[in-house]
Chain A
Amino acid sequence: MESVLALRGLVLLRDSVEWEGRSLLKALIKKAALGGEQVHILGCEVSEEEFRAGFDSSINSRLVYYDLFRDPLNWAQTGEALPGGPLGALQAMCERTDPGPVTVALDSLSWLLLRLPCAALCQALCAMSRQHACRGGGPAAEQLCVLGLLHRELHGPGPMGALSSLAQAEVTLSGTAGQASAHMLRRRPRQRPTLETLWFSVLPDLSLDLQGGPPLESQPHPDPHTPQVDPASHLTFNLHLSKREREAKDSLTLPFQFSSEKQQALLRPGPSPATSRIFYEPDAFDDLDPEDPDGDLDV
């Protein structure tokens, strides 16, 4: 994850319903704040209280929070809503960042993408880095990091592709067997894109714990909620054999099994063929020819 923070520019955190990305976003914010950067957060999906939960007070005091959750569309008409709606809030954020390293967190980019035209959102994101560069302090590529939380299932390939083309890095969250993984695609100027996979977990204090590789244990642990029910209990038929039945079964020879007893029985001369006779009464339609049917064969 250190490699992610070393990058600047637009970073997309693509999560899904099963593998949520907000805790990773908060972990990256904590790292940025501890590193002395300014941190600005545009909160749309959860309340400020809920978002700040988990950060300790020293970090919380360093976060500049723009609340778009309470009244994003100005329905309450109290005058407390951020002016200009979602786009205005985004533009206001750009203007208020001071020169120097800045991390901007958008929670979430999906919320903005559903309510703003894709082109306007992309332009606002580009303008953000341009304005930050203009304010001095070096090229924006090194100063500004925009972390955008994106819910994969919500958008079609068009908007996702547009945002991907603007992004310097994309982190796709998934996982297996209870362990989360992040597939990171990084694009650096004049270099080939690199892809790496990291296994991680976010601890309750929002620090990142990186694991070496995928979990070794591939069996699912026994489900504590499902009682271990023996399906062979309380049956209406008998599944077990008594001792006598088992002996009789074991001593039975199968009809098509060629054992030595069978071989002896076949080799032993049986009762004379004269003792077995066939009695046949021909009926009216039979045509019995006493001649030997094979008489004309030259054998």
Chain B
Amino acid sequence: MFPELNNLLNTTPDRAEQGKLTLLCDANTDGSFLVHHFLSFYLKANCKVCFVALIQSFSHYNIVGQKLGVSLTVARECGQLVFLEGLKSSVDVFFRAQAEPHPLQFLREANAENLQPLYEFVREALKPVDDGEAAWRCPVLLVDDLSVLLSLGMGAVAVLDFIHYCRATVCWERKGNIVALVHDSGDTEDEENNILLNGLSHQSHLILRAEGLATGFCRDVHGQLRILWRTPSQPTTQRDWSLTYQYKIQDKSVSFFAKGMSPAVL
């Protein structure tokens, strides 16, 4: 996890909030550093994590995780991490008997209407352990990423339904958290992606939006991060709080600074 990002979000692994949906979004840049941050953050916070990883392989996340101080291999072995490796298990779908349910079953069906098998997988993975003693702090679902489900043929409403059921189970029933990444292509013609992005935005408590700089590529400033805190149901005396920072990604950390204050230009 990146300590500077924790400072901006005013949180630490010990004081992680529960029952929240965090939406990660990237536009014109790669926002996957945020996924790595939250993965290591929740593992360090002693939470049980179910990671639906559809984009990269396990070893990729493991290598980055090691730079951030967590070992995914150890976490998986001791049961803290349930890892669905989309790239590998998508091939398994075609070599299993059709009757056996598989979380990525929709790949095999011509007219898959919903993501219920994937939801059942998440529900099972984050089931509370019945040995009377809570081994882990709270369940966390991490998805990287949801836009790829649209590319694989699911509709935006099907993905929204999947997240709806995950929210009902993980956030409300089990007081856990959900973190999901959605890409913003910036294409107003991509209606499905816009419905997904806006629909999730309305349900989120925290939105982190990584954007490329409007002026183009820069060696010292990799992008801009907009943070929006929301309270979807409760009135607050001040309106939803929003901050913008620029950032530079380094080998093992990300440094954040106010706009125009990069050390390289001062």
Contacts and interface: CB of A to CB of B under 8 A. Distances in A.
B238 interface: yes
Contacts of A70: 168, 172
Interface stretch (B89-97, B129-137, B156-164): B156-164
Interface string A177-204: 0111000000000000000000001111
A54 B235 contact: yes
Contacts of B194: 153
B243 A225 contact: yes
B240 A20 contact: yes
Given A223-B243, A225-B243, 11 more contacts: A18-B242, A20-B230, A23-B234, A46-B233, A49-B172, A54-B233, A70-B172, A114-B195, A114-B199, A179-B239, A235-B266
A45 interface: yes
A110 B160 CA distance: 12
A247 B46 CA distance: 67
Interface string A1-41: 00000000000000001111011001100000000000000
21 contacts: A17-B202, A18-B242, A19-B239, A22-B232, A23-B233, A45-B202, A45-B203, A45-B232, A50-B172, A50-B233, A51-B233, A75-B114, A110-B202, A115-B157, A153-B194, A154-B195, A178-B238, A178-B239, A179-B239, A204-B234, A235-B266
- The binding surface of chain A is classed by DSSP as loop
A203 B198 contact: no
A206 B235 contact: yes
Contacts of A126: none
Contact of B239 (A27, A46, A51, A180): A180
A72 B116 CA distance: 13
Given A17-B202, A114-B160, A114-B199, A75 B233 contact: no
A175 interface: yes
A75 B119 contact: yes
Nearest to A18: B240
A123 B236 CA distance: 36
Contacts of B233: 22-23, 26, 46, 50-51, 53-54
B161 A73 contact: yes
A45 B261 CA distance: 40
A204 B202 contact: no
Contacts of A22: 232-233
B232 A46 contact: yes
Interface in A68-120: 69-73, 75, 110, 114-115
A289 B261 CA distance: 70
A47 interface: yes
Contact of B261 (A49, A69, A229): A229
